[in-house]
Structure 1
Amino acid sequence: MKVKSSYIGLCLILIFIIISFSILSTPHIETFAELGFADDNEEYIYPTVYNNFISPKEANYILSQAEPKFTDSETIGSGVDTQIRKSKTAWLSKNDLTIKNIIQRVCAINNYSIENAEDLQVVKYGPGGFYNPHHDSTGDDNKESHEFLKLGGHRIATMLIYLNDDFEGGATRFVNLAKDIKPPKHGSILFYPLDKYNNKCHPKALHAGLPLSSGQKYIANVWIRQKPFINTVD
C-alpha cells in the first residue's frame, strides 16, 4: 500500500511539472510579436489605393460622431508632442453599427476577424498640421512597446481613409518608397506595417502625414492586430 501511494504521489508531481512547463513555454503575445525591424530587402507588399472605399453618408457620419470627441493627438512613449505630430484624435467604437460595417470590410479584405480590429481612429489636421515619419506598429524594445504588444500583438494592416480632400498639402508620404499618396475623398490606402510574413516592422512601411498649407484634413484609420484586440478604454 505504501509503494502504491508513493507511486501515485510521484505521478502527480510529474503531471504538475509537465503542466507548469507547458504554461511557461506557451508563446505569449509579447514573445509572439517580434521586436526590431526587418531588413530593407525583406519581401514587402506595396500600398494599394481604393477609390470610394466609404460612402458620403458614412464619411459624414464619422465626422459628426468624431467632432465632439477630438483631443490632442498622442504618440507611444511621448504623449502629446507637437514636435512629432500636430493634430487632434478621436476614437469611435467598433460596436457602433456604421463603424462596424466599415471595419468589417477592411477585415474581409485581409481575411481577419473583426475581433482583431481596434476601434476606429479619426484624425483632424489644421493648417500646419503634420505627423513625422513613423511606423504604425513598434520595433522598439522598451516598456511602452511591450505594453502596446500585449493588446493584441503587432498592427499587421492599416486602412487609411481620406474623409475629405478640400485642403492643400497633407499627402501620405512613404519615405523609403519615395512615394506620396493623396486619394480623393472617401478613398483609402491599404498598407502593411510589417514584412510579408508579419514578423517585424518593415522600413518600407515608414510613412508621414505631410504638413497642411491650408484647409482641414480628416482621415480615419482602421488597424488590424495579429491577435484579438484587447480594448482597455471601453
Structure 2
Amino acid sequence: MNGLKSLNEEWKKWIKVCILKGVSTNQIASELFQRGWTDAAYELIEKKGEKLKRPRIDLNKNRIALNNKEVSITYTCHKPHVIVFDDFLSFEECSALIEDSQNKFKVSKVINDDDGSRVLSTNRTSQSVSYSKSPNRLVKTIEARIAELLNWPANHGEGLLVLRYEDGGEYKPHYDYFNTIKKGSDKIMQNGGQRVGTFLMFLSEVECGGATRFPKLNFEVRPKVGRAIYFSNVDLAGNVDNMTLHAGMPVIKGVKYLATLWIREEPYL
C-alpha cells in the first residue's frame, strides 16, 4: 500500500503532530477517511496494528469481483460513509426471496431504547420476516456475499430481514445504531455490541415513492431491483455517526420489498 506516501507534506506533518499529542490512531484515520484519504486511513491502522472498528470496502475500483458475483459501485460518500451498489442481487434472487417470505409476514417492531424490548411504533409501518439463523440456502448465499464484500465475518450479522411496505408504508427518520446513553442499549449490546453498519437491498420497484432518504445529506436512493446500500453507523474511531439519520419514504403507489442486514461489531449469537 502507498496511501500514506501519497499524502502531501502538510498532511504528513499533521499526522506526526497528532501522534505526538497522543491522538489515537483510529481517530487520526477517521479524519483522513472523511477527507477522502481512504487508503492512507486504512494503511495507518494496519501499520499501527490497530483493530478496524467497522467493515472495509475496496473503493479503488468501480466494479468489485466477488466469489460468485460482480457488483457495481454507483455512488460513494465519505462522511457519512455511504455506498450504493447496483447488481448486488439478481432478479431471480429477489423474486425467490419475495416468494419465500409470503404468508410469513408480521407487523414490524422497533427497539425501545429505555428497556431493550421490541415494541410496535407508528414511526414504522411495515411488515417483516426474520431469517435469523435460517437454514435457507439463498439467505446463506446472500449473507456470505455481504460478508465478502464488507470484509467482515458473516456471524456478525443479525440475520437477514425481509420487509414489505404497502401503500403509505414508511419508516420515519431514525438511526440504526444503539444510543449508549439509553439504559436499554446496555442490554441490547450484550450480544454483538454496537451496530456498526447497515446493508439494505431493494427486492422490487414501485411506481411512486419508497426511496431510502438521508435527510442530513439531502440525498435519497430510489428502489431498483438488485440495488443495495451500505452505510457505516460508526466512524473509523468507533464513534456513532449522527449523519446516518435515514428514512424509508412513504410508498405512494405499489408494494416495496426490501431486505436488511444489520452488522454488529462482534459475533451475534
TM-score category (smaller protein): 0.7 to 0.9
Structure 2 distance, partners of 1:147, 1:170, is: 32
Contact kept, 8 Å, 1:170 with 1:212, in 2: the verdict is yes
| 8 Å Cα contact 1:49/1:183 also seen in 2 | no
CA separation in 2, counterparts of 1:72 and 1:107?
Answer: 28
Corresponding position: 1:65 with 2:65: no
Which amino acid in 2 is paired with 1:49? Answer: V
Q: Which amino acid counterpart does residue 144 of structure 1 have in structure 2?
A: G
Higher relative contact order (CA 8 A, sep 6+): 1
Match of 2:3 in 1: none
Q: How does 1:165-204 map to 2 (within 5 A)?
A: 165-197=205-237, 199-204=238-243
Q: SS at 2:204's partner residue?
A: coil
When normalised by structure 1's length, the TM-score is 0.75
Give distance in 1, aligned partners of 2:149 and 2:80. 14
Percent of aligned pairs sharing the same letter: 31
Shift of 1:140: 4.1
Once the two structures are superposed, residues 28-86 of structure 1 have per-residue CA deviations (whole angstroms, 9 ceiling, x without a partner) of xxxxxxxxxxxxxx94353111111111221122112222221111111161112x111
**Structure 1 residue 113 displacement after superposition:** 1.2
Secondary structure, counterpart of 2:110 in structure 1: coil
Residues 214, 247 of structure 2: 8 Å contact kept: yes
- In the alignment, what sits opposite 1:221? 260
Ranges in structure 1 where 5+ consecutive residues have no aligned partner:
1-41
Residue 163 of structure 1 deviates from its aligned partner by 0.3
Whichever structure has more helix as a proportion of its residues is 1
In 1, distance between residues paired with 2:219 and 2:242?
13
In structure 1, C-alpha distance between the alignment counterparts of 2:218 and 2:247, rounded to whole Å: 11
What does 1:1-234 correspond to in 2, within 5 Å? 43=34, 44-77=79-112, 79-82=119-122, 84-93=123-132, 94-197=134-237, 199-230=238-269
Question: Contact (CA 8 Å) 2:212, 2:222: kept in 1 or not?
Answer: yes
**SS of equivalent residue, structure 1 residue 137:** coil
Aligned length: 187
Once the 2 structures are TM-superposed, how far is the Cα of residue 171 of structure 1 from its aligned partner? 0.5
- TM-score, with length taken from structure 2: 0.66
* 2-structure distance, mates of 1:141, 1:169: 34
Deviation at 1:165, TM superposition (A): 0.7
Give 5+ residue unaligned stretches, structure 2.
Answer: 1-32, 35-78, 113-117
C-alpha contact 2:206 2:253 (8 A) present in aligned 1:
no
